[in-house]
């Protein structure tokens, strides 16, 4: 009797769901959401265009500490959401980045350290070039990334301003993603992947460190991209653990917020943290976690500023006398995320 009842309930539930998705109300709601996202993207891109410097950089207008890193992120957002209206802005940004390559073709996070390199900044730059079909033009530079791999499998960030945690897990993930997008193999990919799996915490994340924004989402974002591109039983188990961590930390309003124990340090905003968590979860597919994505996207849409940007909070520099805002990172990452989610909605 119980089995028959449960099957009946399940049948009714499935019919209700199917009925909703085939109803006019569903399509009206979806079209309204598409229109809302399109508007948010256009306003966000307009903001990036308006703050672009004469030299092509798109960065914090008050403190350009990360001017090259932020320009890479903004260029990626412009490329993914590209249209004829912002092509000039994009090309100027790419010209700025090309000008700041060092002799090996690698990038550092700002012009002052341009003779050095940052694995993370360079890797995102090379991923963008690969998406543009131009990885062949920088093949020698990409091979430099390969040769910078450590004997133990990981990469060192290279950034001369990072002193305390040079091989944080995100660095290796960014490097692997760069190589994968360019169809270039590292010396020992299995060793690198095992190194990443072993670095995962019992909770399911890869921890956080102030030199890398001080939030778990920063490492989760590139690492789940890495795991999406490679398969093994240990990677599958590690991914499932990470996804459980992400889902279990989503707040009622759809956002994520990691609380640092040091209350005196200004931190990245809920908007930036939410964008990184959703960017990580994206590699597991929108269909698998539609409710979490819908809530998170709604939170981001509701918190876009009047000027088109999103508040990024602050880079958590351990100094009460120093401030670095992160609205470029937040706006760029959210634009990429909204564009991807928009494409999902259009197909469903």
d(CA 136, CA 229): 21
First to last CA, the chain: 38
Q: Is 118 helix (H, G, I), strand (E, B) or coil?
A: coil
d(CA 285, CA 294): 13
pLDDT at 92 over 70: yes
Residue 197: both structure tokens together = 């799996």
Return the percentage of the chain with pLDDT > 70, whole number.
91
Sign, CA dihedral 193-125-171-255, equals negative
Enter the DSSP assignment of 202. T
d(CA 336, CA 327): 14
Domains of the chain, each with CATH number or no CATH: 36-347 (1.50.10.20)
What pLDDT score does 18 carry? 44
What pLDDT score does 25 carry? 63
What pLDDT score does 23 carry? 56
As a whole number, the mean pLDDT across the chain is 90
What pLDDT score does 27 carry? 67
Band the pLDDT of 135: cuts 50, 70, 90.
confident
Band the pLDDT of 285: cuts 50, 70, 90.
confident
For residues 329-335, average pLDDT: 98
d(CA 52, CA 92): 9
List of residues 6+ apart from 111 with CB closer than 8 A: 67, 68, 100
Tens of pLDDT, residues 14-69: 444 444 445 556 667 888 899 999 999 999 999 999 999 999 999 999 999 999 99
């Amino acid at each position: 009797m119980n089995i028959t009842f449960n099957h009946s309930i399940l049948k009714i539930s499935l019919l209700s769901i199917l009925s909703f998705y085939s109803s006019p109300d569903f399509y009206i709601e979806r079209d309204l959401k598409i229109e809302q996202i399109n508007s948010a993207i256009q306003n966000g891109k307009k903001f990036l265009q308006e703050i672009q410097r004469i030299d092509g950089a798109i960065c914090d207008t008050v403190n350009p500490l990360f001017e090259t890193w932020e320009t890479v992120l903004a260029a990626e957002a412009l490329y993914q959401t590209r249209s004829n209206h912002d092509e000039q802005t994009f090309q100027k940004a790419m010209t700025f980045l090309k000008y700041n390559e060092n002799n090996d073709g690698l990038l550092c996070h700002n012009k002052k350290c341009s003779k050095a390199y940052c694995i993370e900044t360079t890797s995102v730059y090379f991923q963008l070039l690969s998406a543009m079909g131009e990885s062949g033009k920088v093949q020698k530079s990409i091979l430099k990334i390969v040769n910078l791999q450590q004997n133990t499998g990981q990469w060192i960030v290279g950034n001369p301003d990072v002193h305390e945690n040079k091989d944080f897990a995100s660095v290796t993930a960014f490097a692997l993603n760069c190589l994968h997008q360019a169809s270039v193999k590292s010396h020992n990919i299995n060793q690198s992947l095992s190194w990443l799996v072993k670095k995962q915490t019992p909770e399911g994340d890869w921890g956080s460190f102030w030199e890398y924004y001080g939030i778990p989402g920063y490492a989760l974002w590139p690492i789940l991209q890495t795991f999406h591109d490679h398969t093994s039983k240990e990677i599958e188990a590690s991914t499932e653990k990470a996804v459980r961590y992400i889902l279990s930390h989503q707040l009622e309003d759809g956002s994520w917020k990691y609380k640092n124990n040091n209350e005196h340090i200004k931190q990245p905003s809920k908007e930036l943290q939410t964008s990184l968590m959703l960017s990580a979860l994206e590699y597991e597919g929108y269909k698998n976690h539609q409710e979490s994505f819908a809530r998170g996207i709604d939170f981001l849409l509701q918190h876009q500023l009047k000027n088109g940007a999103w508040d990024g909070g602050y880079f958590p520099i351990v100094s009460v006398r120093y401030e670095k805002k992160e609205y470029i990172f937040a706006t760029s990452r959210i634009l990429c995320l909204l564009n991807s989610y928009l494409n999902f909605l259009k197909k469903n």
